[in-house]
A and B are shown apart, each in its own frame.
Chain A
């Protein structure tokens, strides 16, 4: 087990390297540059700019410098927000996105797993149909449609919740974005839980558990859930990647000062250090969480051996 973890941690390094290099390559291969605009710059100004940002050096020197920055986790200064370093921006925006993402994922887990389990236990009942129809609505409604609808209903009509903007970590401002972001995962998790539970509830070991006279509650909570939630556990990996996208969109709808919003702006501004910084940071975070998921998988499913 320890060997497995260490091996995975070692593999992490080339992974981050690949991601960062790919991003850097894409930015550099694209036509134009960050100072390119509709107005043509005088050659002298352009020369000075290139010197200032080290663009006059050969590409491998620039590449090495970028890799060095990533290795030291110090991404230099943003090109757009010149008074701030990328690390400052990360420190400022990450808590916003992380809070939003975590809240949404917890909401999705709680609601999704309970709805999915109940639906599987009462298969073909009205409860089953209702929760699955709701889950499908959750999958089918893009969050940029759901978000504005929620705002229209709860903010602009009922005046219960603030419509947008950041109001601190424990404010009601987070509720609508969290619900908007979690709807899709809630639906996925409910569906996965239901199908996983249905499969497990029909297996022989559940029949054995029932046959030896266990209470239904023990059968479900101690035997069935463990196997039935495997699809949900393996969904956590992609969910994290999706969550990044979802956060970008949600932050844009609700004008939250999070990582995603800055990432889009960085792309539109061709703010290379900021793009590299955010991509590297998110990659490391996702790798770390994937490792956690794999470890958890080994604990839950005794058939898996490392």
Chain B
């Protein structure tokens, strides 16, 4: 859709810019009064030369309105108007940034890492936030306290962020690619091919896949922390595209009998091109809404598995495994659940707000209003 629309709009923008080009060249240089007076443009008469700023503004305004009518630019502008969506975007960016650059900074300033266990034999190792290792005095060394092994919670929460976000994003991206290609093909081709393709999805759907994932992780897991993580990527990535495929197929089925597809087919556009250039862009609204639902759902599934002790293994951590550790001591050391739990909830909350904003910004139905 974008590729079809932009050329015409660019052309229109160009023609308009050409019409107002004298105003742009007026910036700082001598304008060409004869041309303007011939056009009968009252604003651009010679005495107004001193107000060249006004000229420039009108030209830019015209350009902005025209280029803004492209679907994605328009959506982006509308997204920026949605305060909750911007909040979500900012928080997600901040948390991503913090989990990327945070651990090295902590290591450089306080010397703690996610797997550093202090070598003392004291029985109690869980210290509240902002408490020095003596358990009493104020200290900046552990802003989120320590876990039950004495490890710095902040470093662990940031590491957990890395892993949780990685799991969510990788699995969702995979589900997008597979789901769109699969669902759109099945929906457009229809008939026996659709039937066969959707039977495959049904088979996979009908598999209580989390049970298989649990079996997989329980049987093959436990070797090494990294191996477990890779196992988790494979397992979650391979099972999360099914809903996407169904959604896209449904959308394509309801779209494919519309006139623009008929027109495309009549003009001899090839089938793959109809699917991916004409149909898929029209399904992107619901797809993006579903993708934003998929990221938190994958992150939740990962945290379920970690909660059951089958996901991310110590010394690595995800928000799920941190929360699972925290639950053991919720009545005594509540910060061990609260910090990872709240960080995770905040991230998912923001992702959802962002997704909702994207939905409102991208929804083609909304464009009529």
B349 touches A238 (CB 8 A): no
CA distance A23 to B323 in the complex (A): 29
B348, closest chain A residue (CB):
A140
Q: Judge whether A217 is part of the interface by a CB distance below 8 angstroms.
A: no
Q: Judge whether B250 is part of the interface by a CB distance below 8 angstroms.
A: yes
CA distance A287 to B243 in the complex (A): 16
CA distance A152 to B246 in the complex (A): 40
A23 touches B215 (CB 8 A): yes
Q: Judge whether A107 is part of the interface by a CB distance below 8 angstroms.
A: no
Interface residues on B, range: 35 or more
CA distance A203 to B368 in the complex (A): 12
Tell me which of A145, A199, A278 contacts B345 (CB under 8 A).
A145
**How many A-B pairs with Cβ below 8 Å?**
141
A residues near B323, Cβ cutoff 8 Å: 142, 144-145
B327 touches A26 (CB 8 A): no
B208 touches A142 (CB 8 A): no
A144 touches B304 (CB 8 A): yes
Q: Judge whether A125 is part of the interface by a CB distance below 8 angstroms.
A: no
CA distance A199 to B214 in the complex (A): 38
A279 touches B349 (CB 8 A): no
B residues near A241, Cβ cutoff 8 Å: 205, 208-210
A252 touches B216 (CB 8 A): no
CA distance A223 to B337 in the complex (A): 46
Question: Which residues of chain B (289-305) have a CB below 8 Å from chain A?
Answer: 289, 293, 296-297, 300-301, 303-304
Given A252-B308, A264-B308: A139 touches B206 (CB 8 Å cut-off):
no
A residues near B214, Cβ cutoff 8 Å: 248, 263-264, 267
Tell me which of B216, B344, B359 contacts A142 (CB under 8 A).
B344
Given A244-B210, A282-B208: A142 touches B300 (CB 8 Å cut-off):
yes
Q: Judge whether B252 is part of the interface by a CB distance below 8 angstroms.
A: no
Q: Judge whether A11 is part of the interface by a CB distance below 8 angstroms.
A: yes
Mark each residue of chain A from 134 to 170: 1 if its CB lies under 8 Å from any CB of chain B, else 0: 0011011110110010001000100000000000000
B203 touches A140 (CB 8 A): no
B residues near A246, Cβ cutoff 8 Å: 304
Q: Judge whether B341 is part of the interface by a CB distance below 8 angstroms.
A: yes
CA distance A156 to B254 in the complex (A): 52
B residues near A237, Cβ cutoff 8 Å: 205
Interface of A is mostly: helix
A residues near B216, Cβ cutoff 8 Å: 26
CA distance A229 to B365 in the complex (A): 18
B351, closest chain A residue (CB):
A140
Given A15-B206, A26-B216, A275-B215: A142 touches B304 (CB 8 Å cut-off):
yes
B324 touches A144 (CB 8 A): yes
Q: What's the least CB distance linking A231 to chain B, in Å?
A: 8
B residues near A27, Cβ cutoff 8 Å: 215, 219
B residues near A26, Cβ cutoff 8 Å: 212, 215-216, 219-220
Question: Which residues of chain A (98-137) have a CB below 8 Å from chain B?
Answer: 132, 136-137
Q: Judge whether A270 is part of the interface by a CB distance below 8 angstroms.
A: yes
A290 touches B344 (CB 8 A): no
A142 touches B320 (CB 8 A): yes
Q: Which residues of A contact B (CB under 8 A)?
A: 11, 14-15, 18-19, 22-23, 26-27, 29-30, 132, 136-137, 139-142, 144-145, 148, 152, 156, 184, 188, 191, 195, 198-199, 202, 234, 237-238, 241-242, 244-246, 248-249, 252, 263-264, 267-268, 270, 275, 278-279, 282-283, 286-287, 290, 303
Q: Enumerate 29 A-B pairs (CB-CB under 8 Å) in ascending A order.
A: A18-B203, A132-B356, A136-B349, A136-B356, A137-B345, A139-B293, A139-B296, A140-B352, A142-B320, A144-B323, A145-B344, A188-B293, A199-B365, A237-B205, A238-B242, A238-B243, A241-B205, A241-B210, A244-B210, A245-B210, A245-B301, A245-B304, A246-B304, A252-B308, A275-B215, A279-B208, A279-B212, A279-B215, A290-B202
Give the 4 A-B CB pairs with smallest separation, nearest first: A30-B219, A140-B348, A267-B218, A245-B210
